[in-house]
């Protein structure tokens, strides 16, 4: 088995042309820009927020998987790690693509996306933001300075962690020194709390503060679960792609697939546990400061059911029940094209989950959530394609710069013979 | 009164030897046979031609039973047998029945898995004919055995012993039940 690995990894992998991904990405961004003229800046900004959250979540997921790999000194995931390290190359581009949203607090009435940024923003039945006691109590946290500063810190820490992890791992390919492995393990010990805190605050600032009245201690954990699931799914897609191309023949074995599938199942259950806990505690306590967030996603002001109710049910079944039942099966976990299909499905439901959390921030004149089925879905798609194209381009550009797997990692042989 | 024959046993000296020997016993078409080793041997399930265990299916059945038990128990108690409105909540909702059903799912899955594993493995097993084999004690230390049972349709005392000798087995003996 290690013979196959040796032949497969001595040569640097053939580079697919990253230009196509860049063109697709730019086309997506251009289409989204055209949307500014069609749907107006606010709708586009919300759709863009969905797209950037989606891909940033996946990049954070890669970061988490690599950090967790190092902290546990894991052996089974060594061959998987390299491609995730290439995925980290997307962070600096994601930071650049987040810039337009970071500029919205400084244009117009400042509340294009986040209502609390404008003290004169009119709340339904509560006067304005400035008169709102819940805003006054939270104003130290919810200030534009804090928002911009924190966002810079988020991307800064992700970019620095990514650069350090990549440098140590890539240098080890050349000199084979185990000190890089130890260095990454220490970095993981320091980096995991940083990653956990930044992703939690990112979820709170970017997404949860769209409804700043709301309280939920589970929000960061919910975002974490989506980050991890998204990264797992993209990993599966990359690994199956490399396997079908022939690069991963003799490297990726059945037990690797089984292990990835088991983590996917575990995180599916974890996501459900967190999301259910959030809903259940709010439902059970029945406090208006909390229930309004779900009411907005179920009912219009006149009591009729709105479209988000069905989206919520779709998320319950599509994001949990279906992948849970499928991933219970050993055969589905180890059959590459089936696991890849499940991965595509979960990615789609993560996107719907983010829409469910972000898009109802758009309100109509009655304070009801803007309907799910609208032109905004088109702009969500163009944003996801646009930002995704740039991320894939960044990945493909990094892809041929190193060996396919970390061949001089101290645990590489244990990984190649991984057997549960 | 002569003892009933159980099968034949042979000793192998290393895990590599027994691995390849097992492949040949598998290829000879035997079904009722086993490998006795002092340690787990990676890949032995394939070498023996074993299918995946049915324990996961038993676990699934246990889990479904647990989930349905939780849901129906709470429905029966809260909405049917003794309906009392609490906290303005409906008499029955899958929401508040979920945590309990979820716990019972885990509990019943664990029970089904442990019990299923014992049943499938035929445990507890206080006696096995191989225990009468003089070298049996080495089987917990540094020796590996193959036991082919007499109830196997392909079993034939002379041919089976010849096969075991051919694939490198030492100290081939008959086992009494």
Interface touch A286/B60, C-beta < 8 Å: no
| Interchain proximity B87–A280, CB inside 8 Å | no
Residue A261 has pLDDT above 70, yes or no: yes
| Cα–chain center distance at A306 | 27
Residue B133 shares a structural domain with residue B163:
yes
- Which residue has tokens 């396919």? A404
Query: Which of B84, B105, B121 corresponds to the end of one domain?
Result: B121
CA distances from A274 to A159, A320, B20 (A): 28, 11, 49
Q: Which of residues 109-148 of B touch A (CB under 8 A)?
A: none
Q: Chain A residues with CB inside 8 Å of B88's CB?
A: 286
HSE-CB at A196 with a 13 A cutoff on CA atoms is: 10
Contact between A283 and B99 using a beta-carbon 8 Å cutoff: no
pTM: 0.91
Q: Which two tokens stand for residue A62?
A: 């890669």
Say whether B95 and A330 touch across the interface (CB within 8 A): no
**Contact of A231 with A64, CB cutoff 8 Å:** yes
Is the Cβ of B52 closer than 8 Å to some Cβ of chain A?
yes
* Rounded-to-10 torsion of CA A241, A330, A63, A409: -80
Residue A3 pLDDT > 50: no
Partner-chain residue, chosen from B52, B60, B89, that has the shortest CB–CB distance to A328 = B60
Q: Which residues of A touch B95 (CB under 8 A)?
A: 279-280, 283-284
Mutate to test the interface with A, among B44, B51, B94, B102 (most CBs of A within 10 A): B102
pLDDT at A417 over 90: no
Same domain, B42 and B26: yes
Nearest to A368 by CA among A303, A286, A316, A311: A303
Do B16 and B35 share a domain, yes or no? yes
- Three-class SS state of A304: coil
Q: Rounded mean pLDDT of chain B?
A: 91
Q: Is the dihedral of CA A339, A341, A347, A353 positive or negative?
A: negative
How far is it, in rounded angstroms, from Cα A5 to Cα A250? Answer: 6
Q: Which of B74, B102, B121 is the last residue of a domain?
A: B121
From chain B, the residues in CB contact with A283 under 8 A are 95
Question: What pLDDT is stored for residue A6 in this prediction?
Answer: 47
* Residue-wise pLDDT tens digits, A12-29: 667 678 899 999 999 999
Please give the Cα distance from B85 to B130 (Å, whole number): 64
pLDDT (0 to 100) of residue A102: 94
Share of chain B above pLDDT 90, in %: 60
Residues B41 and B99 in one domain: no
Residues B12 and B48 in one domain: yes
- How many folded domains does chain B comprise? 2
Asked if B77 and B115 sit in the same domain, the reply is yes
Query: Which of residues B100 and B87 earns the better pLDDT score?
Result: B100
Q: Do B42 and A276 touch (CB under 8 A)?
A: no
Best interface-test mutation with A: which of B55, B95, B103 has the largest number of A CBs within 10 A? B95
Q: What is the pLDDT of residues A67-91, one digit of tens each?
A: 999 999 999 999 999 999 999 999 9
pLDDT of residue B156: 87
Could you give the 3-state DSSP secondary structure of residue A277?
helix
Per-residue model confidence as pLDDT tens digits over A149-201? 999 999 999 999 999 999 999 999 999 999 999 999 999 999 999 999 999 99
The DSSP code for B78 is I
Range of the domain at B43: 5-52+127-176
Contact B88 A286 (CB under 8 A): yes
Residue B25: which CATH number?
3.30.70
CA dihedral (A342, A344, A350, A353) positive or negative: negative
* Min Cα–Cα distance to chain B from A336, Å: 19
Q: pLDDT for A162-173, tens place per residue?
A: 999 999 999 999
Contact call for residues B17 and B41 (beta carbons, < 8 A):
no
**Which residues 57-76 on chain B approach chain A with CB closer than 8 angstroms?**
60
The residue to which tokens 């035997």 are assigned: B30
CA quadruple B161, B167, B168, B174: dihedral, nearest 10 = -20
Amino acid A146: pLDDT: 95
Q: Which residue of B has its CA nearest to A269?
A: B102
Band (A358; pLDDT cuts 50, 70, 90): very high
Q: Are residues B13 and B27 in the same domain?
A: yes
Distance CA A273, CA A228 (A): 14
- Decide if A276 and B87 are in contact by the 8 Å CB cutoff: no
pLDDT in tens, B52-99: 899 999 999 999 999 999 999 999 999 999 999 988 899 999 999 999
Residues of B with Cβ-Cβ distance to A279 under 8 angstroms: 95
Looking at every residue in chain A, the average pLDDT score rounds to 93
Among B121, B141, B166, identify where a domain stops.
Answer: B121
Residue A32 has pLDDT above 90, yes or no: yes
Could you tell me if B163 and B76 lie in one domain?
Answer: no
Residues B84 and B168 in one domain: no
Give me the pLDDT at residue B52, please.
Answer: 87
pLDDT for residue A7: 47
Split at pLDDT 50, 70, 90, the class of A11 is low
- The share of chain A scoring above pLDDT 90, in percent, equals 85
Residues B81 and B92 in one domain: yes
Q: Indicate whether B24 and B74 sit together in one domain.
A: no
Show residues of chain B in contact with A276, CB under 8 Å.
98
Average pLDDT for residues A90-105, to the nearest whole number?
A: 95
Q: Are residues B67 and B116 in the same domain?
A: yes
């Amino acid at each position: 088995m290690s013979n196959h690995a040796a032949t497969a990894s001595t040569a640097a992998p053939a580079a697919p042309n990253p230009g196509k991904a860049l063109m697709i990405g730019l086309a997506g961004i251009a289409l989204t820009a055209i949307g500014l003229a069609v749907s107006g800046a606010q709708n586009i900004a919300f759709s863009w927020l969905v797209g950037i959250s989606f891909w940033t979540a996946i990049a954070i997921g890669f970061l988490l998987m690599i950090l967790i790999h190092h902290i546990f000194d894991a052996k089974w995931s060594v061959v998987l790690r390299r491609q995730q390290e290439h995925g980290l190359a997307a962070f600096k581009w994601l930071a650049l693509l987040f810039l337009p949203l970071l500029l919205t607090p400084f244009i117009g009435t400042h509340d294009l996306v986040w209502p609390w940024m404008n003290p004169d923003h009119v709340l339904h039945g509560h006067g304005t933001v400035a008169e709102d006691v819940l805003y006054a109590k939270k104003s130290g946290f919810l200030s534009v300075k804090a928002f911009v500063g924190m966002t810079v810190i988020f991307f800064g820490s992700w970019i620095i962690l990514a650069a350090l992890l990549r440098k140590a791992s890539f240098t080890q390919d050349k000199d084979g020194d185990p000190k890089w492995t130890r260095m990454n393990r220490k970095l993981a010990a320091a980096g995991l709390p940083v990653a956990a805190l930044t992703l939690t605050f990112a979820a709170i600032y970017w997404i949860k503060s769209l409804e700043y009245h709301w309280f939920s201690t589970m929000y960061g954990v919910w975002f974490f679960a989506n980050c991890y699931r998204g990264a797992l799914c993209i990993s599966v897609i990359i690994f199956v792609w490399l396997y079908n191309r022939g690069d991963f023949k003799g490297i990726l074995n059945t037990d690797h697939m089984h292990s990835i599938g088991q983590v996917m199942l575990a995180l599916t259950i974890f996501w459900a546990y967190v999301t259910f806990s959030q809903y259940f505690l709010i439902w059970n306590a029945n406090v208006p400061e909390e229930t309004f967030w779900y009411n907005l996603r179920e009912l219009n002001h006149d009591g009729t059911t709105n479209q988000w109710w069905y989206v919520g049910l779709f998320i319950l079944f599509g994001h949990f029940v279906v992948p849970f039942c499928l991933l219970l099966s050993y055969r589905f976990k180890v059959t590459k094209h089936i696991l890849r299909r499940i991965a595509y499905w979960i990615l789609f439901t993560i996107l719907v989950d983010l829409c469910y959390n972000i898009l109802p921030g758009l309100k109509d004149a009655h304070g009801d959530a803007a309907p799910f089925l609208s032109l905004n879905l088109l702009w969500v798609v163009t944003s996801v394609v646009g930002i995704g194209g740039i991320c894939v381009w960044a990945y493909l550009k990094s892809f041929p710069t190193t060996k396919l797997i970390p061949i001089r990692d101290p645990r590489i042989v244990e990984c190649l013979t991984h057997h549960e | 009164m002569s003892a009933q024959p159980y099968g034949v046993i042979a000793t192998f000296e290393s895990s590599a030897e027994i691995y390849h020997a097992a492949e040949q016993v598998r290829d000879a078409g035997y079904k009722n046979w086993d490998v006795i080793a002092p340690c787990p041997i990676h890949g032995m399930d394939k070498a023996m031609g074993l299918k995946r265990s049915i324990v996961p299916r038993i676990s699934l059945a246990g889990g479904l039973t647990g989930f349905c038990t939780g849901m129906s128990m709470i429905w029966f108690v809260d909405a049917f047998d003794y309906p009392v409105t609490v906290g303005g909540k409906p008499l029955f909702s899958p929401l508040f029945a979920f945590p309990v059903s979820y716990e019972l799912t885990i509990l019943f899955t664990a029970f089904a898995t442990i019990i299923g594993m014992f049943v499938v493995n035929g445990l507890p097993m206080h006696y096995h004919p191989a225990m009468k084999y003089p070298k049996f004690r080495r089987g917990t230390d540094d020796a590996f055995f193959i036991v082919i049972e007499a109830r196997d349709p392909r079993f034939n005392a002379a041919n089976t012993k010849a096969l075991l000798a051919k694939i490198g087995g030492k100290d081939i003996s008959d086992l009494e039940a």
